[in-house]
Amino acid sequence: MRNRNFSRFLPLLAILAVAFALRVSTLGLQELRGDEAFGYFFSQQSYSQIVTETLRLGEPHPVASYFLQKLWSGVAGDSEFALRFVSAWFGTLAVALLYRLGRSLALPRSAAALAALLLAISPYAVWHSQDARMYSMSLALTIASMWLLVEGLQKERWTLWVAYGAVSLLALYTHYFAAFVLAAQGVFVVGMMIAAPRKRAACLRWLVAMAAIALLYLPWLVFASSILSGYKGAGDSPGIVAMVVRSLSALTVAVSVPSSQHVAMALLAIVLVAVGAVTLARRSSASPSEPWSPRWTLALLLLYLLLPLAASWISALRRPIFDERYLITASAPFLLLVAAGLSGDPARTTRRLTPGGVARLAMLALLLAAMLLSLQNYLTNPAYSKSRGWRDLAVALDRLAQGMPAAQVRLVQNYPDPTLWYYYRGPVAHTVLPPAPQDSTGAGSEVERMLAEGVSRVVLVEQPSPAWDDDGIAASALAQDFTALAQVDVGQWPLTVYGRAEPAALTPASIAFANGLGVTGYLVEPAGGRESITPGGVVVVHLGWQGPPEALASPTKVFLHLTNEAGQPIAQRDQLLTAADLSAPVTSYAIVLPDSIAPGSYRLLVGLYNPDAPGAPRVQTSDGLDAVLLAEVEAISP
């Protein structure tokens, strides 16, 4: 008997192994996205600060997941794998709980196992199980709440209702939209009280449990009422057709397929749910007097699916808060209905494959193919990846800042995306310009503060941010006191290197060219010496020019060459010399170093040439040289 029971659960154990493997095998592969990084920094505070900041900042999610993330990070660290493991664990737990819920709802073992398998490989569920946010936790807790409700209604034990109350309260402290699942439960229980008098005692116990939940949740609702009423949202407000298409396609294949396929996926979902509902309805007619008949399962699953979807949509009609992520709790009833339909009615099973059986197999094959294709896209196709290049950006910033004292450099974003500061762990301070949405005055004050603190180099990271910096406020504020020297593109981000418009005093020089022009002083940043330049970094050269403007009658370009010991140019900067340069106290140039530069000594040369003359001849110095050594620098490995 023991061996028989063990073998009965072998398929479920295999499904759980698949679920866990899918969730952890590539857990740290993709970069954190913005919300994940925000959650990480949020959970670094003390528990009391998390509560205080949630209320002060109007954070639209309660605190339970942040508390758990803080507790777990203290043990496991803050790598991408560690931060996401909590979600992966809850995602795997949700698979096991869905099976138990299916069995408690009197679904055949095959249907419950199929629902668990579909959740195990669901690209929607896997995506959220690899996301360091509260959605996977919300899914597991709401499934557990529903399972304990059904068990409590069937077995009428107080211990089940105590557990139900605790789990449901934790679900509410994890995500506000868990209330929609509890609302669906309430509608179901009221209906049961009316239609099944024998269940009224159990329903009364549910009322006691709900009263306890409300009493324990009310203080938080009082403090967070301004968040619930005032949150402006970061989603949108779709029409009902768009909502249905987006919701059902997300539950089926997430967002890892082309948008042109969403309508087809939504239609497939409608057919699958309809088949499941019809299958359960037919079973209901066969046993209407059972204490827990399939009609109760059908009613509960439809409420469990439709009420949260409708409530999520209605709540977004007046403010843009609709987002597919918030629909995670609906994936459980969706997959249970789908599994009920695709597994068929055991009472009507025959050994011969019927046309209905063939149709169910075809639909199952189509669903599995769509899920696996979407899962493959998410895991392997950069177009659907969470990664945006933050790791490369952090490396580039580190290189552009190296060689300078950290206090003299600032890294600036024109939008406060916290993800970059998860990946950049260097010593250079960072700031946001503008410091508040469209705050040009604050941006100017921040630049003045940087000047007062002796900052001589700024690296600006720009990304499209219409809600924060819609008119180039960051670049305009910096241009008042800094000069844009070079631009480096890293992935989707343009990085602009700025130097101080009036740098420190130049080293005197007396470089005279045959055309009457000359260099009176220079300054190289970083200064020569070991660890002064790094592959992928920049060398900034400030030059003081003199000479009559008529010397520029023929076009004249300045060249700055970085050469190796053999005299071969490794990097260079060529720029037209203008009359404004001759009258300015200093003109600044930047040489962007290649990533492939080898460690060793290099020579920095300056000279002039005529770009329009045949062969672009160099202008000789009064000493007969065609280039002058400014500095020797040392390159090291990054």
Segment 16-72, tens digit of pLDDT: 999 999 999 999 999 999 999 999 999 999 999 999 999 998 899 999 999 999 999
- CA-based angle 132:138:142, to the nearest 5? 160
Are 588 and 482 spatial neighbours (Cβ–Cβ below 8 Å)?
Answer: no
pLDDT higher for 314 or 195?
A: 314
Cα–Cα distances in angstroms (integers) from residue 283 to residues 36, 107, 295, 336, in the given order: 44, 10, 8, 15
CA 133 to chain centre: 10
Mean pLDDT is lowest, of 169-178, 306-315, 444-453, 628-637, for: 628-637
pTM of the shown model: 0.88
Query: Which helix (H) or strand (E) segment is 552 a member of?
Result: none
Which pLDDT value is given to residue 290? 55
Which pLDDT value is given to residue 6? 64
Which pLDDT value is given to residue 350? 55
Residue type, 420: L
pLDDT of residue 433 exceeding 50: yes
Are 87 and 136 spatial neighbours (Cβ–Cβ below 8 Å)?
Answer: yes
Which pLDDT value is given to residue 422? 95
Helix, strand, coil percentages, rounded to 5, for the chain? 55, 15, 30
Phi/psi region, residue 296 (left: phi>0; alpha: psi -120 to 50; beta: rest), is: alpha
Confidence bin at 104 (pLDDT 50/70/90): very high
pLDDT higher for 355 or 166?
A: 166
Are 602 and 637 spatial neighbours (Cβ–Cβ below 8 Å)?
Answer: no
Here the tokens at position 511 are: 């470089």
Here the tokens at position 521 are: 């002083």
CA distance 558 to 428: 32
Q: Any residues with CB less than 8 A from the CB of 79 and at least 6 apart, and which?
A: 28
Q: How many CB atoms lie within 10 A of CB 491?
A: 13
- pLDDT tens-digit map of 221-253: 999 998 988 888 888 999 999 999 999 999 999
Q: What is the mean pLDDT of the chain?
A: 91
Are 117 and 125 spatial neighbours (Cβ–Cβ below 8 Å)?
Answer: no
pLDDT of residue 531 exceeding 50: no
Which pLDDT value is given to residue 108? 92
pLDDT of residue 307 exceeding 50: yes
Are 79 and 36 spatial neighbours (Cβ–Cβ below 8 Å)?
Answer: no
Confidence bin at 527 (pLDDT 50/70/90): low
CA distance 380 to 324: 22
Residue type, 152: G
Which pLDDT value is given to residue 195? 84
Q: How many CB atoms lie within 10 A of CB 369?
A: 10
- CA-based angle 359:361:366, to the nearest 5? 95
Mean pLDDT of 416-429: 93
Are 252 and 268 spatial neighbours (Cβ–Cβ below 8 Å)?
Answer: yes
Mean pLDDT of 100-105: 96
Mean pLDDT of 476-495: 92
CA distance 340 to 622: 92
Mean pLDDT of 485-495: 92
What are residue 457's DSSP bridge partners? 409, 499
CA distance 122 to 124: 5
Which pLDDT value is given to residue 401? 87
Query: Which helix (H) or strand (E) segment is 48 a member of?
Result: helix 47-57
Which pLDDT value is given to residue 352? 67
Which pLDDT value is given to residue 4? 61
CA distance 244 to 316: 14
Across the chain, how many H-helices and E-strands are there?
A: 21, 14
Are 481 and 451 spatial neighbours (Cβ–Cβ below 8 Å)?
Answer: yes
pLDDT of residue 626 exceeding 60: yes
Q: What is the dihedral of CA 436, 439, 442, 447, to 10 degrees?
A: 100
Are 119 and 16 spatial neighbours (Cβ–Cβ below 8 Å)?
Answer: no
Mean pLDDT of 339-346: 83
Largest CA distance in the chain: 110
Strands 618-619, 569-576: pairing is unpaired
Fold for the domain defined by 507-635 = Immunoglobulin-like (2.60.40)
Mean pLDDT of 357-378: 93
Which pLDDT value is given to residue 107? 93
Mean pLDDT is lowest, of 301-305, 529-533, 550-554, 607-611, for: 529-533
Domain boundaries, the chain: 2-384, 390-500, 507-635
CA distance 113 to 550: 87
Are 66 and 42 spatial neighbours (Cβ–Cβ below 8 Å)?
Answer: yes
pLDDT of residue 530 exceeding 50: no
- pLDDT tens-digit map of 497-519: 998 877 768 889 999 999 999 99
Cα–Cα distances in angstroms (integers) from residue 559 to residues 534, 572, 627, in the given order: 21, 7, 9
Residue type, 560: L
Which pLDDT value is given to residue 156? 78
Q: Is the peptide bond before 258 cis (omega within 30 degrees of 0)?
A: no
Which pLDDT value is given to residue 203? 85
CA distance 129 to 10: 23
Which pLDDT value is given to residue 197? 81
Are 337 and 277 spatial neighbours (Cβ–Cβ below 8 Å)?
Answer: yes
Percent of the chain clearing pLDDT 70 (strictly above): 95
Query: Which helix (H) or strand (E) segment is 192 a member of?
Result: helix 178-195
Cα–Cα distances in angstroms (integers) from residue 526 to residues 23, 361, 634, in the given order: 46, 68, 10
Confidence bin at 574 (pLDDT 50/70/90): very high
CA distance 110 to 103: 10
Which pLDDT value is given to residue 638? 64
What are residue 484's DSSP bridge partners? 498
The secondary structure of 246-271, three-state, reads HHHHHHHHCCCCCHHHHHHHHHHHHH
Residue type, 505: A
Confidence bin at 348 (pLDDT 50/70/90): low
Which pLDDT value is given to residue 275? 95
Q: How many CB atoms lie within 10 A of CB 13?
A: 11
